[in-house]
């Protein structure tokens, strides 16, 4: 997954769409089910997001979210099971607490906290997933693309 | 608990940061910043933090070695010294004193350098002694001594805070002198306008207020255009010019041919921007100019420095606390090596060898007859190996990687009858030696380094050299005695005292005065506190001299076969020929293979992607390296660092020398790039 | 200079009575202060207390490389002691091997460091002064308050000066990981400056989210003057608000994010416009 991001972001020119690019880390016991269902229903969703299935939301470390932003990704969503229902000994509790600390950090440096969504137990059904994605994109539309601030600067340095 | 922290000075660049080495059981285990150091103030760059890593590397030379056939055999010290002395004496007798030459070291202490140049001069009656300053700030010393009377940085590193304008020519200080860059940024935060002149869009350029991305080698037109605009708009410092300078008429005449439009065409900067920059510099209350290799490493390097001196004097921006001209010296002690006379045309203290009064003075001080004929420079010494020069003594220099046109060096060195190399590792140059002497590094000696702001600072010995290696000071004393000189010194402090006697600018410098902040020369008396900035009131030579700079564009321009301009230089995590940094695990982890920077459009046009193996060739040679795509480079220019011996950038560079200071044109030659 | 005399008296006594085998502090025996392990009472006459020097990492290395019965005293400021506590909690240091001689900082020092707690748990030396709120300091405000877009520009401008010296990482008392993720090419692109603004600095800041003791070592070590400690302020405030937790103040309390919500609950997080996204569930 990370390698894909790297190859995409080093040197290859992206088809500069206006659609924000979003990565969704979806726990396969909950968030992925909603994502799959939405896919099977051919839901009308904005292009530009990728779903990365993970065994448990606790698999996602904050570094991955940060690395996504540094590559010019506009938004990151982490979907986990609801807070009573983690298969792996309430691992999502600790994930929730730890990743929540990203909000103050991102806000401090001026990466709007609307770019990061941490959500537990809200995307099991297809309509829930669609709803979530649409609302997230709505929030992003009001922000300048990550490209615009990191991009113009980063692309000057040739870093992505 | 055998744990200690010893204060010493960093062995890398000319900023001269203080640092603490932590020693446990006679091994240096880590480096810490020195919070009280006047320049570094508790910070270090990536190389400084890793300063200890190479000290105990297994590759360290531990015994003298003699080449027998193709193999180096260890021999005992007295045999080595005796052999060296005999061979040098035989060569001088057979071919004359000028057949012997020495390359001193900008990495060794002032005391080591003083003893080295005295050995060559008093031991052999020749002035064939030089060092790597030839390859970096030779033009600075030549031009600034002629124009101002002194070739050193006019102000101190902390003087950027307080300037209204800081103009950087050809300097990537964020990678080469990071701590100085920190001070420049502080100056910018306090209100200085930062203008950067560089063909590459480096980090420094991006953080500047104005970046002038000139064509490589077109500094004289740029400065000419600026000066023309300043004169046309009567912005020059009339009083200053009248009272403190000479030959202004010659300059005005020269500037008649440099209209702003012509200057703009030649250097590639728009006339408006050229005028804007000239305005800012001229109107500033106090302004500093910083310059480095981008100015000096050209075939018109000396002329480039004259142009800078002219600009500063035209606007009166020299000789006060926050106005001056700041060449950033490269090596940790290149300033010191120049100060103590490791140069073919001057004695210690920049006193000319051709001056018979000086010759007399030093003959009496040293008790031996001396030559009054200026000697050969580094590049000339290597070129005339086997014909003019027959025996060469190299101390801690690596010309095989640092001199231009590497193939020529590889052909020349074997032609010598006898080559002695004294170093801490078996460098690429040392492999060609007949005799190798194991020396010591910065942590293993007591002595002084002089940084770029003329600050003489004391190092403290931390550990002993490994195995049978000796302190460079000890080796020079042994060799000196073998040659019949009275090298009975027992302590480097005595050498400093002797230097003080014969060197007016350092007359008041003694080890017991060097405390924690050192002393900035000129320090002409025992109670003098040192000098923060130069040329206050009057220039060292009296009046500043305007010198017309002879402009020559780069000698080898791109053509059909070699369509790129190759710029060679440095990057932040390695140092020069990499002898020390390639053996430091932390620095090598950061970057461990050679690369060449290419503009993205150029890369597309040649079908090259980031990370591809490419063949970089010039008329001199060819290397295989890795492509790094970055918009930092303009179309038509490529950049390769010279740190990597497996892909030596100097196999490609051209041997065109500046006529006055003999510096090679490292910063521009024609190259081709092909995907492998 | 009576605080220095007090310090010397305390250290001398500890060494004379053989309560400790060595004391780590600053010595001016070579006309400049350097860290030193005082082992005999005679040496203590060269003990000094200035400038601010953090010993936690040094102490950890000394303890690791000295014999098992070597007891080390450390002359510590408040932040230094907090760093030691954090290292102890993370099993990097055995608390039985060290003894803290606490020193409270002066008001000037607290202002220079923007320190909210310029004193150790027990100040053997000096007088406790009130801390400083970084949000009230003019230059720090530009980095912490105001419009998001302004803050972004401010931080981008500062971080663009980074020369990747790793000084922040090297001087941080908590940054002891081997191998360090910042040297991993997968996470932080190598060989270019500035250090990737977002991935280098934010990864480092986030790794310290719940252990930063706000010592200011990072800011002190930065050659280009980036106020790195300010990156941590919001996260520390968040931990204080949600769990009443401050790193380094309670040796018995591990970081709250390491346990699940039943042990260390936190307030419901309400993202504006996302009221359901994050609810502490009452169901089990």
pLDDT tens-digit readout, B314-367? 999 999 999 999 999 999 999 999 999 999 999 999 999 999 999 999 999 999
Encode pLDDT of B531-578 as tens digits. Answer: 999 999 999 999 999 999 999 999 999 999 999 999 999 999 999 999
Contacts of B634 in chain A (CB under 8 A): none
Judge contact between B187 and B563, C-beta under 8 A.
no
For the purposes of burial, counting CB atoms within 10 Å of the CB of B34, is it exposed (0-12), middle (13-18) or buried (19 or more)? buried
The DSSP line for B404-446 is SSHHHHHHHGGGSSEEEEEESS--TTGGG-SEEEE---GGG--
φ, ψ of residue B300 in degrees (nearest 5): -115, 35
Chain A: residue whose CA lies nearest to B632 = A157
Encode pLDDT of C207-264 as tens digits. Answer: 999 999 999 999 999 999 999 999 999 999 999 988 999 999 999 999 999 888 888 8
The verdict on B250 and B339 lying in the same domain is no
Q: In sequence order, what E strands does A10-74 have? A: 22-27, 49-54
pLDDT at residue A13 tops 80: no
Encode pLDDT of A127-155 as tens digits. Answer: 889 988 998 988 888 787 676 555 444 44
User: What's the pLDDT score for residue C29?
Assistant: 85
CA atoms within a 13 Å half-sphere pointing along the CA-CB vector of B66: 12
Query: Are the Cβ atoms of B207 and C66 closer than 8 angstroms?
Result: no
User: What's the pLDDT score for residue C267?
Assistant: 65
The verdict on B190 and B324 lying in the same domain is yes
In a domain, B83, yes or no: yes
Query: Are the Cβ atoms of C151 and A110 closer than 8 angstroms?
Result: yes
Give me the CATH number covering residue B394.
Answer: 3.40.50.740
The verdict on B302 and B212 lying in the same domain is yes
Contacts of B631 in chain A (CB under 8 A): 155-158
Encode pLDDT of B247-259 as tens digits. Answer: 999 999 999 999 9
Query: Are the Cβ atoms of A93 and C261 closer than 8 angstroms?
Result: yes
Q: State the total domains in chain B.
A: 3
Last residue of a domain, one of B328, B348, B379: B328
Domain hosting B349: range is: 65-132+334-506
> Which of B251, B252, B277, B246 minimizes the C-alpha distance to B264?
B277
User: What's the pLDDT score for residue C150?
Assistant: 84
Give me the CATH number covering residue B632.
Answer: 2.40.40.20
The verdict on B161 and B263 lying in the same domain is yes
Number of other residues whose CB lies within 10 A of the CB of residue C218: 27
H or E element in which residue B349 lies: none
Q: Give how far C243 is from chain B: nearest CA, Å.
A: 35
Of the partner residues B5, B178, B182, the one whose CB lies closest to the CB of residue C225:
B182
Range of weakest confidence among A124-133, B528-537, C73-82, C100-109: A124-133
Contacts of A153 in chain C (CB under 8 A): 156, 160, 197
Last residue of a domain, one of B488, B506, B524: B506
- Give percent of chain B above pLDDT 90: 96
* Mean model confidence pLDDT for chain C: 88
pLDDT at residue C279 tops 60: no
Encode pLDDT of B213-233 as tens digits. Answer: 999 999 999 999 999 999 999
Q: What is the mean pLDDT of residues B196-218?
A: 94
* Mean model confidence pLDDT for chain B: 94
> Which of B216, B267, B136 minimizes the C-alpha distance to B554?
B216
pLDDT at residue C155 tops 70: yes
Judge contact between B201 and B214, C-beta under 8 A.
no
Encode pLDDT of C167-191 as tens digits. Answer: 999 999 999 998 999 988 888 888 8
Residue B539, SS3? strand
Q: Which CATH architecture has domain A20-139?
A: 3-Layer(aba) Sandwich (3.40)
φ, ψ of residue A83 in degrees (nearest 5): -70, -5
User: What's the pLDDT score for residue B372?
Assistant: 92
φ, ψ of residue B113 in degrees (nearest 5): -65, -40
The verdict on B477 and B388 lying in the same domain is yes
Q: Which chains form contacts with chain C, at 3 or more CB pairs under 8 Å? A: A, B
CA distances (Å), B521 to each of B130, B144, B289, B380, in order? 22, 16, 20, 31
Rounded Cα distance between B584 and B206, Å, is 30
Judge contact between B318 and B157, C-beta under 8 A.
no
pLDDT at residue C275 tops 50: no
Rounded Cα distance between B274 and B266, Å, is 12
* Three-state SS annotation for B138-151: HHHHHHHHHHCCCC
* Three-state SS annotation for chain C: CHHHHHHHHHHHHHHHCCCCCEEEEEECCCCCCEEEEECCHHHHHHEECCCCCCCHHHHHHHHHHCCCCCCEEEEEEHHHHHHHHHHHHCCCCCHHHEEEEEECCCHHHHHHHCCCCCCCCCCCECCCCCCCCHHHCHHHHHHHCCCHHHHHHHHHHHHCCCCCCCHHHHHCCCCCCCCCHHHCCCCCCCCCCCCCHHHHHHHHHHHCCCCCCCCCHHHHHCCCCCCCCHHHHHHHHHHHHHHCCCCCCCCCCCCHHHCCCCCCCCCCCCECCECCCCCCCCCC
What is the bridge-based pairing of β-strands A75-80 and A116-120? parallel
Chain C: residue whose CA lies nearest to B588 = C191
Q: What is the mean pLDDT of residues C100-123?
A: 93
Asked if B53 has any chain C CB less than 8 Å from its own CB, the reply is no
Domain residue ranges in chain A: 20-139
User: What's the pLDDT score for residue A18?
Assistant: 62
Give me the CATH number covering residue B204.
Answer: 3.40.228.10
ipTM of the complex: 0.92
Provide CB contacts within 8 A for B271, sequence distance 6+.
Answer: B225, B260, B261, B264
Query: Are the Cβ atoms of B609 and A157 closer than 8 angstroms?
Result: no
Provide CB contacts within 8 A for C136, sequence distance 6+.
Answer: none
Give residue A73's pLDDT band: very low, low, confident or very high (50, 70, 90): confident
pLDDT at residue C280 tops 60: no
Asked if C224 has any chain B CB less than 8 Å from its own CB, the reply is yes
Query: Are the Cβ atoms of C203 and A66 closer than 8 angstroms?
Result: yes
pLDDT at residue C283 tops 50: no
Q: What is the mean pLDDT of residues B647-653?
A: 93
User: What's the pLDDT score for residue A145?
Assistant: 67
User: What's the pLDDT score for residue A148?
Assistant: 53
What is the bridge-based pairing of β-strands B193-197 and B165-169? parallel
Judge contact between A58 and C258, C-beta under 8 A.
no
Instruction: Report angle CA A58, A64, A65 to the nearest 5 degrees.
Output: 95
pLDDT at residue A7 tops 50: no
pLDDT at residue A14 tops 80: no
């Amino acid at each position: 997954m990370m390698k894909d991001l790297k190859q995409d972001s080093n040197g290859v020119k992206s088809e500069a769409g206006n659609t924000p690019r979003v990565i969704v880390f979806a726990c396969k016991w909950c968030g992925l089910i909603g994502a799959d269902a939405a896919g099977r229903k051919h839901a009308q969703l904005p292009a530009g997001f990728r779903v990365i299935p993970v065994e448990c939301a606790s698999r996602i470390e904050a570094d991955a979210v940060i690395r996504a932003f540094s590559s010019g990704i506009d938004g990151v969503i982490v979907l986990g099971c609801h807070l009573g229902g983690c298969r792996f000994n309430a691992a999502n509790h600790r994930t929730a607490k730890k990743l929540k600390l990203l909000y103050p950090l991102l806000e401090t440096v001026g990466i709007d906290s609307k770019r990061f969504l941490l959500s537990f137990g809200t995307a099991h059904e297809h309509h829930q997933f669609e709803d979530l994605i649409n609302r997230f994109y709505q929030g992003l539309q009001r922000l300048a693309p990550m490209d615009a601030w990191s991009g113009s600067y980063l692309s000057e340095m040739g870093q992505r | 608990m055998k744990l200690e922290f010893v204060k010493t000075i960093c062995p890398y660049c000319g900023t001269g940061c203080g640092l603490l080495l932590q020693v446990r059981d006679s091994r240096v285990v880590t480096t810490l910043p020195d919070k009280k150091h006047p320049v570094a103030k508790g910070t270090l760059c990536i190389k400084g933090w890793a300063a200890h890593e190479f000290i105990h590397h297994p590759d360290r030379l531990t015994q003298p070695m003699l080449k027998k056939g193709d193999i180096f055999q260890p021999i005992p010290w007295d045999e080595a010294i005796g052999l060296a002395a005999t061979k040098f004496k035989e060569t001088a007798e057979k071919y004359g004193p000028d057949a012997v030459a020495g390359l001193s070291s900008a990495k060794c202490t002032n005391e080591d350098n003083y003893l080295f140049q005295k050995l060559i001069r008093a031991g052999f009656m020749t002035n064939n002694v030089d060092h790597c300053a030839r390859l970096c700030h030779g033009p600075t010393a030549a031009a600034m001594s002629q124009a101002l009377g002194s070739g050193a940085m006019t102000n101190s590193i902390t003087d950027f805070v307080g300037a209204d304008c800081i103009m950087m020519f050809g300097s990537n200080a964020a990678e080469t002198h990071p701590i100085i860059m920190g001070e420049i940024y502080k100056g910018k935060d306090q209100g200085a306008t930062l203008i950067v002149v560089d063909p590459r869009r480096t980090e420094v350029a991006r953080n500047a207020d104005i970046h002038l991305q000139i064509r490589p080698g077109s500094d004289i037109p740029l400065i000419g255009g600026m000066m023309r605009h300043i004169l046309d708009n009567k912005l020059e410092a009339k009083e200053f010019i009248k009272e403190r300078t000479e030959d202004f008429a010659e300059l005005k005449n020269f500037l008649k041919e440099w209209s702003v439009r012509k200057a703009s065409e030649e250097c590639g900067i728009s006339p408006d921007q050229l005028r804007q920059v000239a305005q800012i510099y001229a109107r500033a209350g106090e302004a500093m100019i910083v310059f480095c290799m981008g100015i000096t490493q050209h075939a018109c390097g000396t002329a480039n420095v004259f142009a800078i001196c002219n600009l500063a004097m035209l606007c009166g921006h020299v000789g006060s606390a926050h106005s001056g001209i700041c060449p950033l010296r490269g090596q940790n002690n290149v300033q010191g090596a120049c100060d103590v006379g490791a140069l073919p045309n001057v004695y210690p203290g920049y006193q000319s060898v051709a001056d018979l009064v000086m010759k007399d003075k030093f003959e009496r001080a040293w008790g031996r007859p001396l030559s009054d004929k200026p000697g050969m420079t580094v590049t000339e010494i290597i070129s005339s190996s086997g014909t003019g020069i027959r025996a060469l003594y190299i101390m801690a220099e690596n010309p095989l990687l640092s001199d231009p046109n590497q193939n020529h060096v590889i052909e020349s060195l074997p032609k010598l009858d006898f080559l002695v190399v004294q170093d801490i590792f078996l460098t690429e140059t040392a492999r060609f030696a007949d005799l190798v002497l194991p020396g010591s590094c910065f942590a293993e000696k007591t002595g002084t380094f002089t940084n770029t702001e003329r600050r003489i600072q004391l190092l403290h010995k931390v550990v002993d050299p490994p195995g049978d290696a000796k302190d460079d000071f000890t080796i020079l004393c042994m060799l000196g005695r073998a040659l019949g000189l009275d090298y009975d010194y027992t302590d480097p402090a005595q050498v400093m005292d002797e230097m003080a006697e014969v060197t007016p600018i350092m007359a008041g410098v003694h080890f017991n005065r060097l405390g924690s902040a050192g002393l900035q020369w000129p320090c002409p008396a025992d109670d003098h506190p040192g000098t923060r900035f130069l040329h206050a009131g009057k220039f060292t030579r009296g009046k500043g001299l305007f010198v017309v700079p002879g402009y020559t564009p780069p000698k080898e321009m791109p053509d059909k076969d070699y369509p790129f301009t190759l710029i060679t230089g440095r990057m932040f995590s390695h140092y020069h020929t990499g002898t020390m940094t390639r053996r430091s695990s932390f620095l090598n982890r950061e970057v461990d293979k050679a690369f060449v920077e290419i503009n993205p459009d150029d890369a597309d046009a040649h079908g090259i992607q980031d990370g591809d193996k490419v063949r970089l060739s010039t008329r001199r040679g060819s290397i295989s390296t890795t492509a790094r795509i970055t918009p930092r480079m303009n179309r038509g220019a490529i950049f390769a660092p010279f740190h990597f011996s497996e892909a030596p950038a100097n196999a490609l560079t051209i041997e065109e020398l500046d006529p006055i200071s003999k510096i090679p044109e490292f910063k521009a030659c024609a190259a081709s790039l092909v995907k492998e | 200079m009576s605080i220095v005399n007090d310090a010397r008296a305390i250290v001398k006594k500890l060494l004379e009575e053989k309560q400790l085998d060595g004391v780590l502090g600053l010595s001016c025996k070579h006309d400049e202060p350097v860290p030193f392990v005082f082992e005999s009472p005679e040496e203590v006459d060269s003990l000094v207390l200035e400038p601010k020097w953090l010993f936690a990492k040094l102490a950890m290395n000394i303890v690791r490389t000295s014999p098992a019965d070597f007891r080390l005293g450390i002359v510590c400021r408040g932040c230094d002691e907090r760093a030691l506590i954090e290292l102890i909690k993370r099993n990097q240091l055995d608390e039985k091997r060290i003894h803290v001689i606490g020193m409270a900082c002066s008001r000037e020092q607290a202002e220079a460091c923007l320190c909210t707690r310029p004193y150790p748990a027990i100040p053997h030396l000096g007088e406790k002064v009130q801390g400083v709120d970084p949000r009230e300091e003019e230059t720090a405000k530009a980095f912490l308050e105001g419009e998001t877009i302004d803050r972004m520009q401010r931080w981008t401008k500062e971080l663009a000066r980074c020369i990747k010296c790793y000084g922040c990482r090297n001087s941080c008392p908590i940054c002891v990981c081997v191998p360090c993720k910042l040297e991993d090419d997968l996470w932080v692109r190598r060989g270019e400056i500035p250090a990737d603004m977002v991935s280098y600095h934010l990864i480092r800041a986030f790794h310290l989210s719940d252990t930063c003791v706000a010592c200011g070592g990072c800011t002190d070590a930065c050659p280009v003057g980036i106020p790195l400690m300010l990156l941590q302020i919001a996260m520390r405030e968040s931990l204080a608000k949600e769990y009443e937790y401050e790193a380094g103040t309670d040796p018995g309390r591990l970081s709250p994010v390491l346990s699940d919500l039943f042990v260390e609950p936190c307030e419901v997080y309400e993202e504006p416009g996302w009221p359901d996204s994050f609810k502490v569930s009452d169901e089990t």
